[in-house]
């Protein structure tokens, strides 16, 4: 696992967007796994800037959302289908037909999950899966004790996650109790995992994920098993890590050919 500690949240977005741009540059119809929530918004903002400045073209790029709430009304602004359209597809100039979100409004959830998995398979698989992390260590909505080999399915959200996400709703009661989420086994099949996080509220979960034992009690610890997992976090989010000196040393001494470096281009400006 590569752990990159950025100076600011903006730099998190810049470094992570650089990773994605590198992949899309080589493969314009690459498949992105799209996390929602607040953490990846800096990544999408930087990709939108790159698009605006003609540094990237995502028209042919495909995408699959990580998850969706079950049972929200079709016009609800917190539905991830709406969020993906509003905050990702439009500003990044993606083609709406190229982006698939699990159908949280389906009357047959199991079929909706099978359809979603089949669509990922038909696409050839996810090239880079963008991830956030919950305060309880979830990725997607795979809550603690989720099977490490799980597939896309309906999950019950923890009260912690419902409380954390209440800020996206008018009232805490409005937050759904259920979701459809890519499974941990589904996420693991992505060719690269790219987790981003900012702020001290994520520090404990990140320490458990990066330096704790591999355990379904911290679903994000699955990244330890993946051959290409990159974690980009800011100083506050890195606050509970033990090996920060090593992560900085490893990044500062990366071979020049191997990736984004601080101090170059907009990434150096925070």
Q: What is the contact surface with ligand F6R in residues (CB under 6 A)?
A: 35-39, 66-67, 132-134, 138-141
Nearer to ligand F6R (CB atom), residue 100 or residue 262: 100
Minimal distance, residue 16 CB to ligand F6R, in Å: 13
Residue nearest to ligand F6R (CB): 132
Minimal distance, residue 178 CB to ligand F6R, in Å: 14
Q: Work out the widest C-alpha separation in the chain, in whole angstroms.
A: 53
Nearest C-alpha neighbor of 89 from the set 134, 128, 132, 51:
51
As beta bridge partners, residue 69 has: 179
Strands (E), 45-93: 62-65, 67-69
∠ CA 227-63-47, rounded to 5°: 85
Torsion of CA 139, 179, 190, 11, to 10 degrees: -50
State residue 178 phi and psi, 5-degree precision. Answer: -130, 160
DSSP state of 201: G
Nearer to ligand F6R (CB atom), residue 15 or residue 262: 15
Nearer to ligand F6R (CB atom), residue 155 or residue 262: 155
Minimal distance, residue 219 CB to ligand F6R, in Å: 9
Give the separation between CA 165 and CA 175, rounded to whole angstroms: 7
Nearer to ligand F6R (CB atom), residue 37 or residue 239: 37
Give the separation between CA 222 and CA 178, rounded to whole angstroms: 22
Nearer to ligand F6R (CB atom), residue 166 or residue 261: 166
Nearer to ligand F6R (CB atom), residue 62 or residue 79: 79
Nearer to ligand F6R (CB atom), residue 201 or residue 265: 201
Minimal distance, residue 184 CB to ligand F6R, in Å: 12
Q: Locate 252 and state its tokens.
A: 């500062």
Q: Locate 133 and state its tokens.
A: 């992390």
Minimal distance, residue 146 CB to ligand F6R, in Å: 11
* Contact assessment for residue 197 and residue 240, using Cβ atoms and an 8 Å cutoff: no
Tokens 């001494």 -> residue: 253
Give the separation between CA 35 and CA 129, rounded to whole angstroms: 8
Minimal distance, residue 141 CB to ligand F6R, in Å: 6
Minimal distance, residue 60 CB to ligand F6R, in Å: 23
Tokens 């309880």 -> residue: 136
């Amino acid at each position: 696992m590569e752990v990159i500690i950025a100076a600011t949240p903006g730099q998190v977005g810049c470094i992570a967007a650089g990773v994605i741009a590198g992949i899309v540059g080589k493969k314009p119809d690459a498949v992105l796994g799209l996390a929602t929530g607040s953490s990846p918004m800096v990544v999408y903002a930087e990709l939108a800037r790159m698009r605006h400045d003609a540094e990237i073209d995502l028209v042919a790029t495909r995408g699959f959302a990580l998850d969706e709430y079950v049972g929200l009304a079709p016009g609800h602004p917190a539905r991830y289908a709406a969020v993906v359209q509003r905050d990702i597809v439009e500003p990044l100039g993606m083609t709406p037909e190229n982006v698939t979100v699990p159908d949280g409004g389906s009357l047959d959830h199991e079929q909706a999950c099978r359809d979603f998995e089949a669509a990922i398979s038909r696409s050839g698989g996810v090239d880079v899966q963008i991830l956030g992390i919950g305060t309880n260590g979830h990725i997607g909505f795979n809550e603690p004790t989720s099977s490490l080999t799980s597939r896309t399915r309906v999950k019950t959200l923890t009260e912690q996650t419902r409380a954390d996400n209440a800020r996206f709703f008018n009232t805490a009661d409005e937050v759904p109790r259920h979701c459809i989420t890519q499974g941990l086994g589904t996420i693991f099949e992505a060719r690269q995992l790219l987790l981003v996080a900012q702020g001290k509220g994520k520090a404990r979960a990140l320490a458990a994920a990066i330096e704790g034992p591999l355990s379904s009690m911290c679903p994000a610890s699955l990244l330890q098993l993946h051959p290409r997992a990159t974690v980009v976090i800011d100083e506050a989010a890195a606050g509970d890590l033990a090996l920060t000196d090593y992560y900085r040393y490893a990044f500062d001494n990366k071979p020049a050919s191997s990736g984004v470096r601080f101090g170059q281009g907009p990434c150096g400006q925070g």
